[in-house]
Structure 1
């Protein structure tokens, strides 16, 4: 019996040590925004005060463009997802990208409200702050839903829509980033507040690419470090808690804004079936399918995405 107890004790101690080592290796407490701006907000980045937040924004390209493009990223992303697309388009158009509240360097909403209505109000105030009366909204994933919700609620402000692997319909995902799954488990909140394995971020990023081999260490660094921005992890948990998966898709058929739909044929998070549903429901819309790309085509192949956007837009 004594030997058995010793063995059990040894196993418990060993497990404790293994857990302690894993926690130590994954220890990642929140970082103040000031510690991240040097690397992730170089020129032409700036910060604009909107609704009590310092919103990270880049405003590039032609200053005489009367209807600029406004680029809206997806969940856990940032304006950096559009960098290469902006480089392709800014010679012809004014292009505005930003970190939406709860993500990137902008950080959380001060009032903790992450419902879509609040995001639409924020976007309207943001456009007012930049004196943009009308815009072309380009949105990926969550940003795509924000774009079409804005087009329905304030149609006079939205001249055209570009929906890239946009949210909006119930989906039967075949690949959900593990980070999203963990963020949706309330019991893990105290643990996840200070622990973030870099490999978890890498796995989540690879899962949304059509070709995971395109995911570089630099790209993982970006997603990892901006997730650590103070308040972002709590904001993600709150958004998943406040915005349960509901079918809001009946509104989509009311969209009258000229719309381009761009989709990755290998998107496992929001499958291509949803692209065809957008096409069927939005009268006169156009669909461009890139069979080899995943959930973030603007990152995987910005040249093709920019060309599709350029072809859809009238010349300024």
Structure 2
């Protein structure tokens, strides 16, 4: 009996030592990856130089850029996707702004705009936000495009206000239900309720690198500077909490039937190596929007406009002629 008690005591000590080691390693990992929110004022000097500006939309200061000729009767409005920012369009803007007025913005929950007041991140709410922004800018007619979530917002704007939208550009757009081949690591962690505190207070560099590489067709194109930008936008005060709220409000495919009502000239651009929203969804848009044009870039991923702006903007230029 005494030997049995001694064996149990040793087992308990081993278990206790293991638990203490795991707790110590966890605390050490948290210390190494500790990344509190950054205030907006700290980020503006680096990430919002001219021509960036902030304009109030229903009281919310929105980070945006308005570039190109002001007399353009139909500005091009471009909307980024989840966890991105207006910087993702810089390649396109640089190639287009000599001939076209181009408006980009950070939509609520992301970039330097940050959370909205209502914590409402449903797609129809985003579509209303875009129309409110353009009303604030006194822009009545426009061409609209977007990537991923931004693409879903773009076509919902086209459905809500067809009399204002002249053309539509969808880049690996959301809208239909889909099964991802792979989800960025950061997105997977943000969806796990048990990781809420850790996710909102730490940001391991390797996780950010893996998440950005996941949406590129060629991961070797992901640079340190690119990761720095995505990391800075993630750390903007309130964005990590807002991202969790956005994922909790996902309604993928809920509005898909209305896509068939679109009667606007539409360009569909897709990366053949998109592992988040599969290329099959490009064919669905092409089928449901009469007269649409589909251009597939076989070697690019989920953000083809960012991964290869030169090749992708060439298709846009041809479409805008």
Name the TM tier (shorter chain).
over 0.9
1:56 aligns with 2:39: no
Q: CA deviation at 1:183?
A: 1.5
The aligned counterpart of 1:92 is 99
Deviation at 1:7, TM superposition (A): 3.7
Task: Give the match for residue 3 of structure 2.
Answer: none
Q: Any residues of structure 2 matched to 1:1-316 within 5 Å, and which?
A: 1=6, 3-314=10-321
How much does 1:16 deviate? 2.0
Please report how far the alpha carbon of residue 190 of structure 1 lies from its aligned counterpart in structure 2 after TM superposition. 2.3
CA distance in structure 2 between the aligned counterparts of 1:264 and 1:115, rounded to whole angstroms: 25
**In 1, Cα distance between the equivalents of 2:195 and 2:17?**
28
Instruction: Tell me how far 1:63 sits from its aligned partner.
Output: 1.7
Separation in 2, partners of 1:32, 1:137:
31
* 2-structure distance, mates of 1:122, 1:7: 57
SS at match of 2:268: strand
User: What is the CA-CA distance between 1:6 and the residue it aligns to?
Assistant: 4.4
RMSD (CA atoms): 1.3
SS of the residue corresponding to residue 156 of structure 1 reads: coil
Shift of 1:197: 1.4
Deviation at 1:310, TM superposition (A): 0.7
Q: Which moved more, 1:141-150 or 1:187-196?
A: 187-196
Q: Deviations over 1:228-252 (max 9, x none)?
A: 1111111111111122334422111
Task: Give unpaired runs (5+ residues) of structure 1.
Answer: none
Q: How far has the Cα of 1:21 moved from its partner? A: 1.0
The alignment partner of 1:193 has SS state of helix
Deviation of 1:175 (Å): 1.2
Between the two proteins, the alignment pairs up a number of residues equal to 314
Higher CA-based Rg: 2
Q: TM-score, normalised by structure 2?
A: 0.95
Contact 2:176–2:252, Cα closer than 8 Å, also in 1? no
Q: Secondary structure at the match of 1:289?
A: strand
CA–CA separation in structure 2 for the residues paired with 1:266 and 1:7: 48
SS in 1 for 2:294: strand
> In structure 2, how many angstroms separate the alpha carbons of the residues matched to 1:4 and 1:278?
61
SS at match of 2:81: coil
How far apart are 1:4 and its partner, in Å? 4.5
Q: Single out whichever of 187-196 and 89-98 deviates more from structure 2.
A: 187-196
> After TM superposition, what 4+ stretches of structure 1 lie above 6 angstroms from structure 2?
none
